[in-house]
Chains A and B, each alone.
Chain A
Amino acid sequence: MSAAHAHAHGRAHTGPHPDAPGACVHHTHDILRFRGVTVAYGRTVALDSITANIECNSLTAIVGPNGAGKTTLLRAILGWMPLAAGEIRIGDHHAHHALPRLAYLPQRAEIDWDFPITVEAVVAQGRYPALGAFRGFRAEDHDLVDRAIAELGLDDLRGRQIRSLSGGQQQRVFLARALAQGADIFLLDEPFAGLDTRASDDLIARLTHWLDQGRTVLAVVHDLDLARRAFPQALLLNTRLIEVGPTATVLDPARIESAYGPAHGPR
């Protein structure tokens, strides 16, 4: 596993070290900038010249119908999708120079839940990008893991196998791993899928709390009501960008109709 190193791209970097969580606490600049981002799978265009800015310290719901390119957008930020056109910049850097700043929460279905692994061991994986394949855990790595476990209230579950947890607890384990990574930009793919109301509310409270700590969150959200209730910002997508900005503005009836079509009103 090659941990990409963030370094100033061509010119001197001023301001906080890009690896530092909370790097943008004192800034109100845009942390993510999309310029004409176009992604295609063969001849099918998945994202069509998306231009948008995401502010530091924001909580943004990525919303749109099935096949709108929501997951593709997250993957493009991670650098997994070759861009047919355009560019994505993270802070002052091209996206691929900023991998350690990004934490990605996969969809539930992508995890092998029967894997013989404990909560603590999953969270510890968050240190792998920093340590690479060989280096042992230092005191500060253990410390980061412990703090992430404590912050997500998993202390009593440290030794449990992950299948034996509830859906909400499982989600928290992977959020803790993202925290332990020391990232400050969190890309969450359908974090609310399969959570009951209580677990959803708990997750919302945690993400909102993260805003105070200089973290930026982008989450793919299917439930429009939940997006309205919990996310100050929204990005409405249907291959093309419909709108990005304050949720109340973005998710107004006319725009939703233009994204989802008149026949299938959103739930």
Chain B
Amino acid sequence: MHTLHEFFVAPFGYEFMQRGLLAATLLGVSGGLLGVLMLLRRLALMGDALAHSLLPGIGLAYFAFGPSPAAMLGGALIAGMFTALGSALVTRLTRVKEEAAFAALFIIFFGAGVALVSAMRTKIDLSHFLFGHVLGVGGSDLRLAAAASTLTVTVALIGYRPLVLESFDPTFYRALGGRGPLLHLGVLALIVLNLVAALHAMGAVLALGLFILPAVTAYLWTDRLGRLFAVSVADAVLGAAGGMLLSYHGGIASGASIVLVLGAAFLFSALASPRYGMVAKLVRLAREGRGVLHTPE
């Protein structure tokens, strides 16, 4: 018992671990919900693009206001919204499709961000932006994480029917008079907000793991939407806590260790899920006398 206590509980006696855990839990709740929305709307990779595009906003804010967390978060939010709105405009007004528009814009933004950071010779550490630094989680990060989490939960509750219907059957949603593009922009805004909130604890790029991994893991276990959201949130929160422990004991960056714990849960599910896992599928194919190459998709 003594060693168990030392392994699981004692680390959270440190204040930075408490802050990190609180931030990760708050972000796990919103990330678990948001990830399901991203998964169902096929936005998983677009989140990655959005994450990279935050950099110039952070760089400019640093340039203008110095190392103020609020300013950097504001800058990131603005850069993310520029990318989202810019892609929406390019998609609507040119022949370029949405994922290509996103790819084009995010890499421009990221390039501009790297240019800014290098030209300013500031002390912004690019790796902290990308991968996070749990010791950097302060009061303003916690407040922002709480705000992002509250907003995400509220939107998920209020928007449940429209969000689900618009992803599942956009034509029917339109037939009922729904406004798809507006809903879409709302989801993108929510992604940016959560990315920004996760900046210090996870890093913009690794934060995506906290959003996407729990959702795809849950997707392998259930066909019911309510359970999908519940399993995703539970997985995100548990993974966040487990990741903090791994980070502490292994001396690993917190964002990376959270992603590794969540990743292990996903890989296990992809292999072992009784209905949608690889092993079950291979057994079924073998029984039917077919090989993997003969399966559709």
Contact = CB atoms under 8 A, between A and B. Distances in A.
B196 interface: no
Contacts of B219: 116
Contact of A112 (B167, B174, B225): B167
Interface residues of B, number: 26
B162 A1 contact: yes
A36 interface: no
Contact of B176 (A1, A116, A161): A1
A73 interface: no
B175 A102 contact: yes
Interface string B187-203: 00000000000000000
A112 B171 contact: no
A72 to B, nearest CB: 14
A165 to B, nearest CB: 12
Nearest to A121: B225
Given A118-B223, A134-B158, A1 B173 contact: yes
B158 to A, nearest CB: 7
A117 interface: yes
B223 A133 contact: no
Contacts, number: 73
A111 B166 CA distance: 10
A80 B179 CA distance: 11
A128 B168 contact: no
Interface centre among A107, A110, A112 (most CB of B within 10 A): A112
B178 A1 contact: yes
Contacts of B175: 78, 80, 99, 102, 104
Interface in B159-184: 159-162, 164-165, 167-178
A133 B223 CA distance: 22
A1 B179 CA distance: 7
A115 B40 contact: yes
B213 interface: no
A115 B171 contact: no
Contacts of B172: 104, 106, 125, 177
Contacts of A3: 176-177
A118 B173 CA distance: 18
A14 interface: no
Give the secondary structure class of B's interface. Answer: helix
Contact of B168 (A4, A80, A112, A133): A112
B223 A161 contact: yes
B158 A133 contact: yes
A44 interface: no
A133 B165 CA distance: 11
B176 A128 contact: yes
Interface string A106-144: 110011100111100110010011000110000000000
Contacts of B165: 1, 125, 128
A121 B226 CA distance: 11
Interface in A66-80: 78, 80
A1 B177 contact: yes
Nearest to A112: B168
B158 A116 contact: no
Contacts of B159: 133
A2 interface: yes
B150 interface: no
Given A104-B171, A112-B168, A117 B225 contact: yes
Contacts of A117: 164, 168, 223-225
A115 B163 CA distance: 13
B91 interface: no
B38 to A, nearest CB: 14
Contacts of B171: 104, 106-107, 110
Contact of B169 (A106, A118, A133, A134): A106
A2 B168 contact: no
Contacts of A116: 40, 219, 222-225, 228
A111 B172 CA distance: 10
Closest A-B pairs by Cβ, 9 of them: A161-B223, A106-B171, A104-B175, A1-B178, A115-B168, A2-B177, A129-B176, A110-B171, A116-B223
Interface of A: 1-4, 78, 80, 99, 102, 104, 106-107, 110-112, 115-118, 121-122, 125, 128-129, 133-134, 161, 177
30 contacts: A1-B161, A1-B173, A1-B177, A1-B178, A2-B176, A2-B177, A3-B176, A4-B177, A78-B174, A78-B175, A80-B175, A99-B176, A99-B177, A106-B169, A106-B171, A106-B172, A110-B170, A112-B40, A112-B167, A116-B219, A116-B224, A116-B225, A116-B228, A117-B223, A118-B224, A121-B224, A122-B168, A128-B165, A133-B159, A134-B158
Interface of B: 40, 158-162, 164-165, 167-178, 219, 222-225, 228
